């Protein structure tokens, strides 16, 4: 009896014979193929772990240079520049609140984000509205008038005022960022 195996990868064949005359054929996958499979598996695991801790970079104007990083967002924290060192920590985000530095204390709430609005401190009173976000634009206070437009956000770029001209680009970013955070980082208040 002869067994025919279809081979899709290179193998090494070892024949073994027993006392009763039977011959067994053992086919082994080459070590190099196993190394390649393990290499692919480890690469996949590395990339999956890297993606889960990915950082968002916000760059100056139209740049994407390491030297022009204004802010780094990682794990609900915003750092100055390209650093993720605690000494460069500017804000901590928890829920709909933005805190000063590494704090999550009620007394350290700088901004509250609610219903496309950014409020001063822990308040959600109409008297404490700093910014209103509507249709890719950030407006002063509760206004949505073009005369009160502070920032325009389009295609991962932040523009000054009611413009999307190349010359008015303040910043760009490499991954999606909540518009309210852009307002906090680039708004005048």
Averaged confidence pLDDT in the chain: 84
Whether residue 171 is predicted with pLDDT greater than 90 in this model: the reply is yes
Name the nearest CA neighbour of 180 among 121, 105, 96, 57: 96
pLDDT of the residue at 119:
97
Four-CA torsion 82, 104, 108, 115, nearest 10 degrees: 90
* pLDDT tens figures, 110-154: 999 999 999 999 999 999 999 999 999 999 999 999 999 999 999
Write down the H helix ranges in 8-152.
Answer: 31-52
* Per-residue pLDDT at 41: 58
pLDDT digits (tens, 9 = 90+) for 61-110: 999 999 999 999 999 999 999 999 999 999 999 999 999 999 999 999 99
Evaluate if residue 32 carries a pLDDT over 70: no
Question: Which of 73, 50, 102 is CA-nearest to residue 177?
Answer: 73
Alpha carbons 117 and 112: distance in angstroms, whole number: 8
Which distant-in-sequence residues (6+ apart) come within 8 Å of 49 by Cβ? none
**The pLDDT of residue 172 is above 80:** yes
Task: State pTM to two decimals.
Answer: 0.69
Helix (H), strand (E) at residue 184:
helix 179-186
Give the confidence band of 9 by pLDDT, cuts at 50, 70, 90.
low
* Residue 177 pLDDT greater than 50, yes or no: yes
Any idea what DSSP says for residue 9? S
pLDDT at residue number 71: 97
Higher pLDDT, 42 or 143: 143
């Amino acid at each position: 009896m002869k067994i025919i195996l279809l081979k899709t990868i290179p193998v090494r064949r070892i024949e073994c014979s027993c006392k009763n005359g039977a011959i067994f054929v053992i086919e082994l996958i080459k070590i190099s193929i196993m190394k390649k499979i393990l290499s692919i598996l480890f690469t996949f695991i590395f990339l999956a772990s890297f993606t889960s801790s990915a950082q968002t970079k916000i760059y100056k104007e139209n740049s994407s240079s390491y030297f022009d990083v204004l802010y780094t967002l990682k794990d609900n924290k915003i750092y100055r520049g390209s650093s993720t060192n605690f000494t460069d920590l500017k804000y901590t985000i928890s829920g709909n609140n933005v805190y000063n530095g590494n704090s999550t204390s009620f007394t350290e709430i700088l901004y509250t984000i609610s219903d496309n609005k950014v409020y001063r401190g822990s308040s959600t009173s109409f008297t404490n509205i700093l910014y209103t976000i509507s249709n890719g634009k950030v407006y002063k206070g509760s206004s949505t008038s073009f005369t009160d437009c502070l920032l325009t956000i389009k295609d991962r770029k932040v523009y000054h005022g009611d413009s999307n001209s190349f010359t008015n680009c303040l910043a760009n970013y490499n991954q999606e960022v909540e518009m309210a955070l852009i307002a906090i980082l680039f708004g005048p208040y």
